[in-house]
Amino acid sequence: MDDVTDTVFRRMVHATAPADLYFTEFVNVDGLQSVGRPKLLKKVRFTETEGPLVIQLWGKNPENFRKTAEQVADGSLARELGLPEGVNFAGVDLNMGCPAKSEVKNGTCSALIKNRPLALEIINATKAGLAGQLPISVKTRVGFNEVDMTWIEFLLEQKLNMLTIHGRTKKQMSKVPANWELIGEGVKLRDRISPDTIIVGNGDVMSHEHGLELAQKYGLDGLMIGRGIFQDPYAFAPQSPWADIDRETRINLYKQHVTLFAAQWQDGERPIHTLNKFCKVYISDFDGAKELREVLMAAESAQQLIDTLNEALALQSA
């Protein structure tokens, strides 16, 4: 998730209740293959301690997809990020689902649902860049303005290694509940068109149990959790202990997150207020949480955050 699932948050999740697979924030290939590249690298930074990680790409120019895919597949992007030989991304995912106005206006992401020739060119260019060395996947929605399962059929005809289906149209944004019947229909299409493609369902999954129930009901191979992680940092655990986790542990978890953030983003690559969206994840559901959050969200440095968290912890043990 853009501006959310950076290397720091992934490390927190992986150490708390690991997922099987992670995705980077989406990164624009046209920007990556331009002078703007250094600024975009923050979106794809990772460490060896995060579990398998797929890089998610978006953009317009097929040639830039090809070049980027090649740099991922041959490991040169990972080396550029400072990772040792032998450590690499686990695959490449293409974003064909983001409904944001600027991306759609630009003819990218979910706009590709109504531009199959370009979607095909992008998929083929990415495959050419990967040269079979890493898997390719697409994440998409079930239509643009209306449900259109021929789009899912079209994607399956491309024999992708994995297809993630978010059960809403672009027009629906996140305003209606995800339609899991349509995701289930995607599984049936897969069985007929491309039996080797792994199907992942996405939309409103809040916990491991909830995901498992849906996976069994609809015959899915995998489940993707997005916003659920904001409700529960243990969303990937088979049985989340989050509801019983005490104030001190919650404060300590946030302190750990802030400490990792300060160490990772030392040169201001990410502003401190980026942390505010995580504050509510940890600093919640205990007496005084709201008041503590207000102070934390006004902080102007990582040190100020750590000091406030230490004071809150001292108050507890006093």
Ligand X SMILES: Cc1cc2nc3c(=O)[nH]c(=O)nc-3n(C[C@H](O)[C@H](O)[C@H](O)COP(=O)(O)O)c2cc1C
Q: Pick from 16, 56, 64, 88: which binds ligand X (CB under 6 A)? A: 56
Stretch that binds ligand X, among 77-85, 117-125, 181-189, 196-204 (CB under 6 A): 196-204
Of 53, 54, 113, 225, the residue at the interface with ligand X (CB under 6 A) is 225
**Quick one: which of 202, 207, 240, 308 contacts ligand X (CB under 6 A)?**
202
Contact status: 186 vs ligand X (CB under 6 A):
no
Q: What tokens appear for 175 in the block?
A: 């305003």
Q: How far is the CB of 230 from ligand X (least distance, A)?
A: 8
Q: For residues 272-311, which are near ligand X according to CB under 6 A?
A: none
**For residue 173, which amino acid is it?**
M
Residue of 160, 204, 242, 282 interacting with ligand X (CB under 6 A): 204
Rounded to a whole number, what is the distance in angstroms from the first to the last CA of the chain? 39
Tokens of 243: 């509801």
**Nearer to ligand X (CB atom), residue 259 or residue 274:** 274
Catalytic site includes residue 279 = no
Residue 131, SS3 per DSSP: coil
Chain residues 13-52 in contact with ligand X, contact rule CB under 6 A? 25-26
Under the binding rule (CB under 6 A), the answer on residue 211 touching ligand X is no
Structure tokens at 180: 């899991």
Q: How far is the CB of 3 from ligand X (least distance, A)?
A: 7
How many other C-beta atoms lie within 10 A of the C-beta of residue 282?
A: 24
Catalytic residue among 8, 98, 123, 182: 98
DSSP helix/strand/coil, 206: coil
Collect contacts of 292-295 with beta carbons under 8 A, ≥24 apart: 292/251
**The only residue of 32, 69, 94, 205 in contact with ligand X, by rule CB under 6 A:** 205
Instruction: Tell the smallest beta-carbon distance from residue 153 to ligand X (Å).
Output: 21
Tell me which DSSP letter residue 247 carries. H
Amino acid, single-letter form, for residue 109? C
Min. distance of Cβ 312 from ligand X in angstroms? 27
Q: How far is the CB of 315 from ligand X (least distance, A)?
A: 32
Buried b (16+ CB within 10 A) or exposed e, 7-22: bbbbbbbbebbebebb
In the bound state with ligand X, the residue whose beta carbon lies nearer, of 205 and 302, is: 205
CA distance 240 to 223: 16
Contact 162, 137 (CB under 8 A): yes
CB 124 within 8 A of CB 116: no
Distance of CA 72 to the CA centre of its chain: 18
Q: Is the Cβ of residue 18 or residue 226 nearer to ligand X in the bound state?
A: 226
Give the position of tokens 């992680």.
Answer: 229
Q: Applying CB under 6 A, which residues contact ligand X?
A: 1-2, 4, 25-26, 56, 95, 97-98, 139, 166, 202-205, 225-228
Active site residues: 98
